[in-house]
Amino acid sequence: MTNSISSEEWIKELIAVDTISHNSNLPLIQHVSDRLAELGVSSKIRPNAAGDKANLIATIPAATGSTIGGLVFSGHTDVVPVEGQSWTSDPFVASVRDGRIYGRGTADMKGFIGVALSMVPHILQSRLRVPIHFALSYDEEVGLHGGAQMLDDFRDLGLTPEFCVVGEPTGMRVIGAHKSFNLLTIEVRGHDGHSSLAPNLVSAAYYGAQMVGFIQDLAEEFQLKGPFDDAYDVPSSTISVNQIYGGSSSNTVPLECHIRVDFRTIMEVDPQVILSRICERARHIEAAMQAQYPTAGIEVSALALAPGLEAAPDSTLVAMLTRAGAIAEGDKVSYGTEAGFFHSAGIDTVVCGPGNITQAHIADEYVSLDQIRECERVLRELIDSLSEA
């Protein structure tokens, strides 16, 4: 076994691998697997269907050798782009200054991954009553695809964890609830031609605008009629049109219009009901289009359907983290994470990690060394609580 690797060393190694979502994360996954092997821990690399990205699962069994139940430390390995941002230092070279570690992914969320992996030697020296698992995913930033696959990976490997900590940046506060995250694309196809012939054509932009108007109606309905949960900073479900593009020139009736819609629901609202309402309106508008041109149409596709999180009031994991020194005051957040997938599988799950969400995705992204130390302390206490004295 090699010497232990500190949190900062792990973070520097993770930051050095460019895992922007449009790139493969396989170099990082292989690097982590190799490093864990040096420490005597084997990993399972679980590729996606295309084979260009993968999840990693590593399990340290209980002292009895059991891999049943246990605790998961979970994190996503992909990061958002740096293009168009003005960085003081190279975003893929971790820079330590002013009590902070700067670099793309330090807050979201290679900081947590680095701390969790640095705990491996301590875990190996402990007499665990239950196993501890590491679950690293891909493509969280572009649809949470790796998180959705992770549950299948667990089942295929015969793993049935009882608890899961998803280490998104929360300032080491325990987040027991967040909204669902749902990302849709609406593709409108009309009948194009010279704009002087517009009455004889079907403008994809015109009918796309009708879909946008319906989305705005839903947004106002959520805001005015609820249902509401005042524990959230935005107390209702939300929906927004975040991208829209189409058309080839200013004097051509457009053939296509592309719309991206994001909606997030509190637990009292079923995302499938919202999706059905959007699809129903699309069929209504499509009928009017096809009355003019039979091959015109609208297609609604889900790019991501990530469930929300709502930890039980008597969550054992929340109590364990509180005893370990994390702050648990019933916080709920409007952003989504992979935690909802674990929760939907009956795993007691919370979100808790170093850094702050306001430090994520920006130029000069950072996590403070104080937060790294706090995360180390909490994870060590948590591990000890799962070990024999």
Residue 389, pLDDT score: 72
* CB atoms closer than 10 angstroms to residue 181: 23
With respect to residue 2, please indicate whether it lies within any of the assigned structural domains: no
| Torsion 24-30-36-42 (CA) sign | positive
Q: Could you give the 3-state DSSP secondary structure of residue 19?
A: coil
Based on the fold, state whether residues 63 and 144 are members of the same structural domain.
yes
Q: What is the CATH number of the domain that holds 139?
A: 3.40.630.10
Based on the fold, state whether residues 362 and 335 are members of the same structural domain.
yes
With respect to residue 167, please indicate whether it lies within any of the assigned structural domains: yes
Q: Could you give the 3-state DSSP secondary structure of residue 163?
A: strand
Residue 329, pLDDT score: 87
Residue whose C-alpha is closest to residue 165's, from 81, 251, 72: 72
Based on the fold, state whether residues 24 and 164 are members of the same structural domain.
yes
Tokens of 208: 């796309």
Based on the fold, state whether residues 190 and 246 are members of the same structural domain.
yes
Q: Is 193 exposed, middle or buried (0-12, 13-18, 19+ CB in 10 A)?
A: middle
Q: How far apart are CA 184 and CA 164, in angstroms?
A: 28
Residue 3, pLDDT score: 63
Based on the fold, state whether residues 173 and 319 are members of the same structural domain.
yes
Q: What is the CATH number of the domain that holds 194?
A: 3.30.70.360
Based on the fold, state whether residues 150 and 206 are members of the same structural domain.
no
Per-residue pLDDT of the chain (389 residues; tens, 9 = 90+): 446 899 999 999 999 999 999 999 999 999 999 999 999 999 999 999 999 999 999 999 999 999 999 999 999 999 999 999 999 999 999 999 999 999 999 999 999 999 999 999 999 999 999 999 999 999 999 999 999 999 999 999 999 999 999 999 999 999 999 999 999 999 999 999 999 999 999 999 999 999 999 999 999 999 999 999 999 999 999 999 999 999 999 999 999 999 999 999 999 999 999 999 999 999 999 999 999 999 999 999 999 999 999 999 999 999 999 999 999 988 899 999 999 999 999 999 999 999 999 999 999 999 999 999 999 999 999 999 999 97
Residue 75 · residue 167 · CB < 8 Å: yes
Based on the fold, state whether residues 109 and 223 are members of the same structural domain.
no
Residue 158 one-letter amino acid? G
Based on the fold, state whether residues 169 and 230 are members of the same structural domain.
no
Q: How far apart are CA 150 and CA 313, in angstroms?
A: 26
What is the count of structural domains for the chain? 2
How far separated are the first and last CA of the chain, in Å rounded?
A: 24
For the entire predicted model, the pTM comes to 0.93
Based on the fold, state whether residues 189 and 100 are members of the same structural domain.
no
| Torsion 30-32-34-40 (CA) sign | negative
For residue 377, the Cα-to-chain-centroid distance in whole angstroms is 25
Reported for 147-151, long-range contacts at CB under 8 A and 24+ positions apart, including other chains, are: 147/76, 147/306, 147/338, 147/341, 148/306, 148/341, 149/46, 149/48, 149/55, 150/55, 150/57, 150/74, 150/338, 150/341, 150/342, 151/341, 151/342, 151/344, 151/345
Q: Could you give the 3-state DSSP secondary structure of residue 240?
A: strand
Based on the fold, state whether residues 262 and 204 are members of the same structural domain.
yes
Tokens of 154: 């667990």
- Which of these three, 306, 338, 367, is where a domain ends? 306
With respect to residue 21, please indicate whether it lies within any of the assigned structural domains: yes
Q: Could you give the 3-state DSSP secondary structure of residue 28?
A: helix
Residue 236, pLDDT score: 98
Residue 318, pLDDT score: 97
| Torsion 375-147-133-330 (CA) sign | positive
Q: Could you give the 3-state DSSP secondary structure of residue 184?
A: strand
175 forms bridges with which residues in the sheet? 331, 351
Based on the fold, state whether residues 165 and 39 are members of the same structural domain.
yes
- Which of these three, 256, 276, 306, is where a domain ends? 306
Q: Where do we find the tokens 């430390």?
A: 73
With respect to residue 112, please indicate whether it lies within any of the assigned structural domains: yes
Segments forming the whole domain that contains residue 19: 7-178+308-385
Residue 269 · residue 276 · CB < 8 Å: no
Based on the fold, state whether residues 278 and 362 are members of the same structural domain.
no
Q: Where do we find the tokens 């979502």?
A: 21
Q: How far apart are CA 297 and CA 8, in angstroms?
A: 53
- Which of these three, 306, 332, 350, is where a domain ends? 306
Residue 1, pLDDT score: 43
With respect to residue 1, please indicate whether it lies within any of the assigned structural domains: no
Residue 46, pLDDT score: 99
